Structure 1
Amino acid sequence: MPREIITLECTEAKAAGMPPSRYVTTRNKKSVRTPGRLEKVKFNHFMKKRTLHRETR
């Protein structure tokens, strides 16, 4: 299965002017479930709460 390495970056910290937290993960390139950018709710260590993280390109 072809998989690609992606980086997830916090969207809420970026808007608040704080340093964004980043996570590295993989995803299936040919998946029909995620045609656009991947979004997950992950823990942001700088804001000390769970926030939305979006795939960066």
Structure 2
Amino acid sequence: MAKKGNRIQVILECTEHKASGQPGTSRYITTKNKKNTPDRMELKKFNPILKRMTVHKEI
């Protein structure tokens, strides 16, 4: 039987879009190594609704 790895799948959600009050949301799915990055991820990704780069945080 295979051993479980350290990589887990996480969902990143736009923080600026929540505050804007517009309908919909921008989410990305990515993986992270839970040993190297135990805290929550925060990346700048493109938000197609706002049409600009925004901060996306792990939910």
Please report the TM-score for the alignment, with normalisation by the length of structure 2.
0.84
Q: Per-residue CA shift, 1:5-34, capped at 9, x if unaligned?
A: 000000000011122200000000111xx3
Q: In the alignment, does 2:46 pair up with 1:3?
A: no
Q: Which runs of 5+ in 1 are unaligned?
A: none
**Residue equivalent to 1:12:** 16
Identity fraction in percent:
52
Larger radius of gyration: 2
C-alpha contact 1:11 1:20 (8 A) present in aligned 2: no
Please report the TM-score for the alignment, with normalisation by the length of structure 1.
0.87
Number of corresponding residues: 54
What is the RMSD computed on CA atoms of the aligned residues? Answer: 1.0
Q: In the alignment, does 2:27 pair up with 1:22?
A: yes
TM superposition outliers: structure 1 runs of 4+ over 2 Å: none
Partners of 2:13 and 2:25 in 1: CA distance: 6
Q: Which runs of 5+ in 2 are unaligned?
A: none
